[in-house]
């Protein structure tokens, strides 16, 4: 579980984030989980929640945008768990506001974390796994015009990356992509602070989603119940991208 920690953004009572929800849900369903994150304390908190539920967890620390670190994360997770049959790549940051308010350094930093890390994760999965499923976590920002262009562009590129990985991994390793919509997470609340209109978006489901709903979608794509699905995009957005938004 790459990105299995959580950054609360200074919130006094933060909701659970996507990465932590996925790690906990996978453990509840019987998986041993390696929680990888750049923040050791955050990863350890997720591991504590897993172990409190009676499942096994390992904590791996590394920078998902650094090639050597990613190789170390995969090797450490494989050693700790006795091999890998499922991987989730849940990494993402935002920086810049509109094209005119985004610097080249901010653009490069977002691409390194949001896209380079997923490329490195897919590459390591192909090298490390004998069979199984990989789930990339993107965003409906890939298909919507939002005021965070670097973030949107990085998530749009994941669609091409997912298809490429699925072809190279077939038939033994499946790769799929989840695009969450407006989800009530610490990152989501931070985005709403930067762009207050986010909370006024009219969603057909009449609400924002939860991290548990994103986790359930990822669980399906990791499981054998999705054994004939690869190279596909599952949008979890309450109908946001299809409208009408009345």
* Catalytic hit among 26, 74, 119, 151: 151
**Among this protein's residues, is 228 annotated catalytic?**
no
Q: How far apart are CA 211 and CA 205, in angstroms?
A: 15
Q: How far apart are CA 80 and CA 58, in angstroms?
A: 7
In degrees rounded to 5, what are phi and psi of residue 5? -85, -160
Measured CA to CA in angstroms, residue 116 lies from 60, 63, 92, 136, 200 at distances of: 19, 11, 11, 12, 32
Burial of 202 (0-12, 13-18, 19+ CB in 10 A): exposed
Cβ neighbour number for residue 196 with a 10 Å cutoff: 9
* Greatest CA separation for the chain: 51
Provide CB contacts within 8 A for 152, sequence distance 6+: 139, 141, 142, 144, 145, 146
> Across the strands, what pairs with 183?
209
Enzyme catalytic residues: 151
């Amino acid at each position: 579980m790459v990105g299995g920690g959580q950054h609360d953004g200074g919130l006094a009572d933060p909701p659970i984030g996507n990465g932590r929800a996925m790690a906990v849900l996978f453990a509840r369903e019987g998986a041993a989980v390696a929680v990888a994150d750049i923040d050791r304390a955050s990863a350890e908190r997720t591991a504590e929640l897993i172990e409190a539920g009676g499942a096994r967890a390992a904590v791996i620390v590394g920078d998902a945008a650094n090639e050597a670190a990613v190789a170390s994360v995969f090797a450490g997770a494989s050693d700790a768990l006795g091999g890998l049959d499922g991987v989730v790549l849940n990494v993402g940051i935002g920086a810049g506001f509109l094209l005119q308010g985004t610097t080249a350094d901010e653009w490069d930093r977002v691409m390194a974390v949001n896209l380079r890390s997923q490329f490195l994760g897919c590459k390591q999965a192909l090298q490390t796994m004998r069979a199984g499923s990989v789930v990339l976590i993107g965003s409906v920002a890939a298909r919507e015009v939002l005021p965070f262009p670097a973030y949107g562009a990085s998530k749009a590129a994941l669609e091409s990356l997912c298809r490429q990985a699925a072809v190279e991994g077939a038939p033994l390793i499946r790769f799929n992509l989840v695009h969450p919509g407006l989800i009530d997470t610490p990152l989501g609340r931070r985005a709403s602070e930067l762009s207050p209109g986010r909370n006024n978006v009219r969603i057909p489901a009449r609400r924002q989603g939860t991290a548990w709903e994103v986790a359930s979608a990822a669980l399906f794509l990791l499981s054998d119940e999705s054994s004939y699905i690869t190279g596909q995009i599952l949008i979890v957005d309450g109908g946001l991208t299809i409208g009408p938004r009345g």
